[in-house]
């Protein structure tokens, strides 16, 4: 729906008030609830596969330069190989696009840690052990000393994203179970469920070790002080929900006309801004996620999709819309989880600080699809 | 066996059956009759000997002796491809007609009779018989535009009727003059070939034919009826109009203009080549300026007819093959483009290139229709691997020695074809679907299949042009000695 600038501001202010009242960015309707819970259930299943594979690649395929079987989690059989070639499989590539986007945008304590002396020293220990008996890699390390180090940095993002989704996957699956038991009946309750999960895991330490020739090597030791919320969840939300990358097909742009900002902090190509009706062809990264989720839709949601618009033909668009709505719920949980003071504080100064916090986040979303889904 | 008569009278009499058949089976019956007609065409192919240059499978009966009007049909390498085209596009036009079309017991008979009369014109070996069919096809076509056309259908149909009636008068005048001046009083094609006229008489009669058939083709500046007719006509009628009916003009010019007035033809050929250039450039530049998809394709047709005129003007063996190839390939390509424009219009309710956007969207657009449209415009722009390339290559290769500058300017026209069709594709099919459209209805396979079949034929002929050239070569390729004595020799003797 096209709205004027002043009307947009009014609507955004209403959203701030709604958040301050403990509600969500997404309107609380039975349709939205069914869509959000159903899509998060299928997302939970897909994330489970993604995180297992990410952890496997980071731990077991550490510094394997040609990881031909990286999507097989160590179980290479002819049947799986045939299924892989037939593309009867999960699109693990989506997880890799996501971690590379996180790595590119950086943020949190993780980015600082990856440039620290401590990390470089630990990484070199592991590299030395890995290439000890491999003359080719030793030559590579000698010629390009930063190459393998950068590979380790990438492996760290594999592992950190794996750890993040390891928490989020059961969180979404238990949400669906709670919904089916009748314990979740509104969008604010969905937000509460997610927020509770994030808060519970907030201080969980991020650690990463690899085992080489029977010995364990720390890449991120617990002493680095990296934690789930500050160094994985928030950078993830920033990179994937807000900034993203202008994947071909997600947005129509002309780079030569500088339609893409040179400053990544001004990027608005994240999940919350994405146009569900993409302009390009199949195979683009967000489409990969939608393709994966379509296999695990709960029956009630599939039935609903098939009865709408073009049925099966535009299923991925409908999944994308529901997914975007659900991500607004996750974003609400993050925004509320990061409030400087309790939401129900009676202190006027604290309420003002909360208001400013909410206003800042909501106004950042003014060019996102948040207003689109207020009427749909 | 009267197979040629079958091609004329099966659809024409079938039209009567459809009109009188009780119940609501008009579409199925018409489709069945068109299918039978197609089978009959295949039977003609069976009996046709591609190694022979002259007329084959002749059927002849006296009719009105006093006028030398004989019912004389025959087929050669020039008419065969056009007869096949007529049968194929007839089937496609009936199949792609709206299933809920009002007054189906009038609509389908008109389509069938149109097919029959056009086949009659391509097969007629008597000039008066040709003229009869040439005029008869106006009746169903006029009614098809006037009854099932768009908002301004009355105006478009009347304009079409007036223009083509004038065309008929001029053609008849040329035929009467020919019979009279030849001293034979005969309208039999084979007889007239043996009695060449003096150059001055040829020039006068050829001028009449050039204007007469020039209206039908249409050549600039006699073209103004065509865009109106296309815009107002329904999709199946546009398919037949662009695919087959315009070819009556080019066929007439080739059969009667070049065939009967060889001396005069050589005199006016440089002028014709220049006329071709004007047509190509005018058609292409005007197409660039269009915002209505259908008008753009219509002006594209006007431009593409210029290539046929250029090749005819050059009249070399290669260019003559190019002429026939261009007639067929243009028939297929323009039919496909009109079909696709029809689907776009049906789904979006507009043909305005200022409004259409993002139709190639894989989820909510018309991706298969868009892909076929890309194929169609590539073929029209002469991209290698498709029929349009072969025909344009033959035309240019055959004409460049005779008319180098005119040919180069026409080659420039193919570049302009790419320009306007890229504009069409870019505006209508790329970008984001307009948000205020809601969800477009999906195109069905029954809507895609006709364009898909045409696309397949376009690619097959592009890769294996011999499949078409094979049937026409003996008729069209003359030995050099024969070319120098064109006035006394014709490939159709």
Q: Is residue B107 part of a domain?
A: no
A143 CB burial (10 A radius; 0-12, 13-18, 19+): exposed
Q: Is residue B50 part of a domain?
A: no
Q: Nearest residue on chain B to A318, judged by CA atoms?
A: B363
The rounded distance, in Å, linking the Cα atoms of B21 and B14 is 10
pLDDT in tens, A268-302: 888 898 888 876 554 456 688 999 999 999 999 99
Q: Is the pLDDT reported for residue B43 higher than 50?
A: yes
Q: Is residue B407 part of a domain?
A: yes
**Cα A231 to the center of its chain, rounded Å:** 13
pLDDT at residue B479, rounded to an integer: 40
**Cα A52 to the center of its chain, rounded Å:** 15
Structural domain boundaries of chain A?
29-64+76-339
The reply to whether residue A277 touches residue B363, judged by beta carbons under 8 angstroms, is yes
pLDDT at residue A3, rounded to an integer: 58
The rounded distance, in Å, linking the Cα atoms of A228 and A337 is 13
Cis peptide before B161 (omega within 30 of 0): no
The reply to whether residue B362 touches residue A282, judged by beta carbons under 8 angstroms, is yes
Domain total of chain B: 1
The rounded distance, in Å, linking the Cα atoms of B305 and B209 is 16
Report the residue from B432, B439, B442 with minimal CB separation from A279.
B432
| Dihedral sign for Cα atoms in the order B335, B337, B340, B341 | negative
**Cα B208 to the center of its chain, rounded Å:** 21
pLDDT in tens, A94-144: 999 999 999 999 999 999 999 999 999 999 999 999 999 999 999 999 999
Q: Is residue B135 part of a domain?
A: no
Nearest to B126 by CA among B169, B84, B166, B184: B184
Rounded average pLDDT over B441-446: 93
pLDDT in tens, B74-126: 999 999 999 999 999 999 999 999 999 999 999 999 999 999 999 999 999 99
pLDDT at residue A284, rounded to an integer: 57
pLDDT in tens, A244-266: 877 665 666 666 777 788 888 88
Which residue did the predictor score with more confidence, B483 or B280?
B280
- Measured in residues, chain A has a length of 376
pLDDT in tens, B172-191: 999 999 999 998 888 999 88
Q: Report the complex ipTM.
A: 0.77
Helix H or strand E segment including B421:
helix B404-429
Q: Is residue B453 part of a domain?
A: yes
Q: Is the pLDDT reported for residue B482 higher than 50?
A: no
> Of A139-143, B285-289, B292-296, B480-484, which range is least confident?
B480-484
Q: Nearest residue on chain A to B434, judged by CA atoms?
A: A277
Tell me the residue range of the domain where B493 lies: 261-493
Q: Specify the residue for token string 């709505």.
A: A325
pLDDT in tens, B50-70: 888 888 888 999 888 888 889
**Phi, psi for residue B15 in degrees, rounded to 5:** -60, -40
pLDDT at residue B489, rounded to an integer: 37
Q: Is residue B385 part of a domain?
A: yes
Helix H or strand E segment including A218:
strand A215-220
pLDDT in tens, A202-226: 999 999 999 999 999 999 999 999 9
Q: Is the pLDDT reported for residue A79 higher than 80?
A: yes
Report the residue from B363, B432, B442 with minimal CB separation from A252.
B432
**One-letter-per-residue 3-state SS of B72-106:** EEEECCCHHHHHHHHHHHHHHHHHCCCCCCCCHHH
Q: How confident is the model at residue B488 (pLDDT cuts 50, 70, 90)?
A: very low
- Two structure tokens written together for B24: 């609501």
DSSP per position, B299-354: HHHHHHHHHHHHHHHH--HHHHHHHHHHHHHHHHHHHHHHHHHHHHHHHHS--BTT
Q: Is residue B160 part of a domain?
A: no
Tell me how crowded residue B68 is: count the other CB atoms within 10 A of its CB: 18
pLDDT at residue A298, rounded to an integer: 97
The rounded distance, in Å, linking the Cα atoms of B344 and B121 is 33
Q: Is the pLDDT reported for residue B410 higher than 90?
A: yes
Least Cα separation, residue A284 to chain B (angstroms): 12
Q: Which residues pair with A209 in a beta bridge?
A: A218
Q: Nearest residue on chain B to A312, judged by CA atoms?
A: B363
Residues 6+ apart with CB under 8 A from B394: B311, B318, B319, B321, B322, B325, B326
pLDDT at residue A279, rounded to an integer: 62
Q: Using alpha carbons, list the distances in angstroms from residue A105 to A229, A245, B21, B248.
A: 17, 9, 73, 66
**Pairing outcome for strands A208-212 and A215-220:** antiparallel
The rounded distance, in Å, linking the Cα atoms of B23 and B308 is 45
The fraction of chain B above a pLDDT of 90, given in percent, is 84
The rounded distance, in Å, linking the Cα atoms of A336 and B443 is 46
The reply to whether residue A279 touches residue B358, judged by beta carbons under 8 angstroms, is yes
Q: Specify the residue for token string 């202010």.
A: A13
Q: Which of B357, B359, B361, B363 to probe the A interface (max A CBs under 10 A)?
A: B363
Least Cα separation, residue A250 to chain B (angstroms): 10
Q: Is the pLDDT reported for residue B398 higher than 90?
A: yes
Q: What residues in B contact A313, CB-CB < 8 Å?
A: 363, 442
pLDDT in tens, B308-319: 999 999 999 999
> Of A2-16, A238-252, B354-368, which range is least confident?
A238-252
pLDDT at residue B487, rounded to an integer: 35
pLDDT at residue B486, rounded to an integer: 37
pLDDT at residue A185, rounded to an integer: 95
Rounded average pLDDT over B239-247: 95
Cβ atoms of B125 and B136 within 8 Å: the answer is no
Q: Is residue B440 part of a domain?
A: yes
Rounded average pLDDT over B407-423: 95
Q: Which of B359, B361, B362 to probe the A interface (max A CBs under 10 A)?
A: B362
Q: Is the pLDDT reported for residue B434 higher than 90?
A: no
With a threshold of 0.90, does the pTM exceed it? no
- Strand, helix or coil for residue B62: strand
- Strand, helix or coil for residue B399: helix
Q: Is A375 on the interface with B (CB under 8 A)?
A: no
Rounded average pLDDT over A190-200: 95
Phi-psi region of A301 (alpha: psi -120 to 50; beta: other; left: phi over 0): alpha
């Amino acid at each position: 729906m096209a709205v004027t600038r002043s009307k947009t501001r009014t609507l955004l202010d209403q959203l701030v008030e709604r958040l301050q009242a403990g509600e969500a960015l997404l309107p609380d309707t039975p349709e939205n609830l069914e869509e959000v819970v159903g899509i998060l259930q299928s997302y939970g299943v897909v994330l489970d596969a993604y995180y297992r594979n990410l952890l496997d690649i980071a731990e077991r395929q550490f510094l394997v330069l040609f990881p031909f079987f990286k999507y097989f989690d160590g179980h290479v059989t002819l049947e799986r190989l045939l299924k892989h070639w037939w593309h009867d499989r999960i699109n693990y590539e989506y997880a890799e696009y996501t971690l590379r986007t996180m790595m590119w945008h950086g943020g949190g304590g993780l980015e600082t840690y990856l440039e620290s002396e401590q990390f470089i020293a630990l990484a070199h220990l592991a590299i030395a052990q890995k290439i000890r008996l491999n003359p080719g890699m030793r030559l590579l390390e000698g010629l390009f000393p930063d190459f393998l180090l950068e590979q380790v940095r990438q492996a760290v993002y594999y592992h950190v994203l794996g750890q993040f989704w390891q928490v989020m996957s059961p969180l979404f699956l238990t949400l669906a179970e709670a919904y089916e038991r009748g314990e979740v009946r509104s969008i604010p309750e969905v937000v509460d469920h997610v927020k509770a999960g994030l808060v519970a895991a907030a201080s969980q330490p991020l650690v990463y070790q690899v085992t080489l020739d029977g010995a364990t090597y720390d890449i991120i030791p617990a002493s680095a002080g990296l934690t789930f919320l500050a160094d994985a969840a928030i950078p993830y939300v920033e990179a994937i929900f807000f900034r993203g990358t202008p994947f071909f097909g997600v947005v129509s742009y002309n780079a030569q006309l500088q339609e893409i900002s040179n400053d990544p902090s001004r990027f608005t190509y994240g999940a919350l801004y994405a146009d569900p009706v993409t302009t390009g062809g199949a195979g683009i990264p967000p489409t990969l996620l939608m393709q994966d989720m379509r296999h695990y839709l709960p029956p009630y949601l599939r039935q609903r999709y098939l009865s709408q618009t073009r049925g099966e033909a535009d299923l991925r668009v409908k999944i994308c819309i529901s997914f975007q709505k659900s991500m607004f719920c996750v974003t609400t949980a993050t925004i509320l989880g990061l409030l400087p003071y309790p939401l129900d504080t009676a202190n006027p100064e604290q309420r003002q600080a909360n208001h400013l916090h909410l206003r800042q986040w909501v106004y950042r979303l003014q060019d996102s699809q948040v207003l689109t889904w207020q009427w749909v | 066996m009267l197979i040629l008569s079958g091609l004329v009278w099966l659809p024409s009499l079938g039209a009567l059956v459809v009109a009188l058949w009780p119940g609501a089976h008009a579409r199925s019956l018409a489709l069945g009759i068109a299918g039978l007609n197609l089978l009959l065409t295949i039977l003609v192919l069976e009996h046709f000997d591609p190694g022979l240059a002259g007329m084959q499978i002749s059927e002849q009966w006296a009719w009105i002796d006093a006028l030398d009007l004989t019912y004389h049909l025959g087929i050669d390498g020039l008419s065969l491809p056009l007869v096949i085209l007529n049968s194929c596009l007839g089937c496609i036009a009936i199949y792609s007609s709206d299933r809920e079309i009002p007054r189906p017991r009038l609509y389908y008979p008109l389509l069938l009779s149109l097919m029959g009369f056009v086949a009659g014109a391509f097969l007629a070996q008597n000039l008066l018989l040709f003229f009869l069919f040439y005029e008869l096809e106006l009746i169903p076509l006029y009614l098809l535009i006037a009854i099932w056309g768009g908002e301004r259908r009355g105006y478009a149909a009347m304009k079409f009727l007036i223009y083509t009636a004038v065309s008929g008068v001029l053609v008849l005048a040329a035929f009467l003059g020919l019979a009279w001046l030849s001293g034979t009083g005969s309208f039999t094609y084979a007889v007239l070939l043996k009695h060449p006229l003096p150059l001055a008489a040829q020039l006068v009669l050829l001028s009449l034919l050039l204007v007469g058939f020039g209206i039908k083709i249409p050549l600039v500046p006699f073209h103004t009826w065509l865009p109106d007719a296309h815009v107002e006509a329904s999709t199946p009628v546009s398919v037949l109009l662009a695919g087959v009916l315009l070819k009556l003009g080019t066929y007439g010019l080739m059969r009667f203009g070049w065939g009967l007035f060889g001396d005069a033809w050589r005199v006016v050929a440089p002028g014709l080549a220049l006329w071709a250039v004007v047509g190509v450039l005018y058609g292409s530049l005007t197409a660039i300026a269009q915002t209505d998809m259908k008008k753009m394709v219509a002006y594209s047709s006007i431009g593409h007819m210029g290539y046929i005129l250029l090749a005819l003007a050059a009249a070399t063996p290669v260019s003559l093959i190019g002429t026939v190839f261009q007639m067929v390939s243009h028939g297929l390509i323009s039919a496909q483009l009109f079909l696709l424009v029809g689907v776009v219009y049906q789904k979006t309710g507009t043909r305005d290139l200022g409004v259409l956007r993002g139709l190639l969207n894989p989820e909510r657009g018309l991706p298969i229709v868009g892909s076929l449209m890309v194929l169609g415009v590539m073929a029209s722009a002469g991209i290698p691997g498709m029929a349009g390339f072969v025909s344009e290559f033959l035309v240019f290769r055959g004409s460049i020695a005779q008319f180098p500058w005119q040919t180069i300017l026409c080659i420039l026209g193919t570049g302009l074809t790419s320009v306007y069709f890229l504009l069409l594709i870019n505006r209508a099919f790329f970008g984001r679907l307009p948000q205020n459209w809601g969800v477009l209805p999906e195109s069905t396979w029954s809507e895609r299949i006709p364009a898909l079949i045409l696309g397949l034929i376009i690619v097959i002929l592009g890769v294996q042009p011999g499949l078409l050239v094979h049937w026409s070569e003996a008729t069209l390729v003359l030995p050099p000695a024969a070319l120098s004595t064109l006035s006394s020799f014709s490939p159709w003797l």
